Structure 1
């Protein structure tokens, strides 16, 4: 009788070990799948982040170029204005002359008259 009990216990232990081994294998496989999924998602996120940073850098460079172009255009406009319009300053001279500077040259106007329409 004890041989039969021993055989039943041995068979139970064997089946239990097989079930535990199968469970361990299943858990290891699920862990590998999960790790693979996590690595793939991290790679996707890193790629999107790199693309976003590249686009941001490109846009910042374009903004800097446009700002430089705008600054140059503004400086050119100021130069053109000073050349075309001249710089007029009313001096408190005793003779009441108006001094006008055009392209760095000073002109004095002693008499004024209204423009004819």
Structure 2
């Protein structure tokens, strides 16, 4: 009888060891799957972050180009204004009209109204 009990106990221990080994293997597989999933998600997040940073950099560069272009256009406008804006005076004894445009002086002794 004791041999029979020993055989039953040995069989139970063997089955328990097999079930335990199977459970351990299952947990190892689940942990690997979870680690793989985490790595994939981290990679996706890093790719999105890199794409976002590249887009941000592109937009910042475009803004810098537009700001430079606007600054240049403003400078050109200021130059045009200074060229177009002149001064006129008629303080001379001979009654001549003096016009100064871009540092150049022009004198007009006779002038007439513009025709419509």
Specify the alignment match of 2:108 in structure 1: 109
SS in 1 for 2:68: helix
For 2:9 and 2:91, the matched residues in 1 are separated by 122
Distance 1:16 1:104, change over 3 A: same
How far does the alpha carbon of each residue in 1:57-109 deviate from its partner, in whole angstroms, 9 at most, with x for none? 000000000000000000000010011013689x9999999997521346799
> What is the distance in 2 between the residues matched to 1:107 and 1:46?
69
- The 3 A distance-change label for structure 1 pair 5 and 93 is farther
Matched residue, 1:15 = 15
Inter-CA distance 17–68: structure 2 relative to 1 (3 Å threshold): same
Question: What are structure 1's unaligned runs of at least 5 residues?
Answer: none
TM-score by length of 1: 0.78
Residues 7-52 of structure 1: per-residue CA shift (max 9 Å, x gap): 1110010000000000000000000011111111111111111011
Report the secondary structure of 1:108's partner residue: strand
TM-score (normalised: structure 2): 0.79
How many equivalent residue pairs? 116
RMSD: 3.4
Question: Where does structure 2 lack aligned partners over 5 or more consecutive residues?
Answer: none
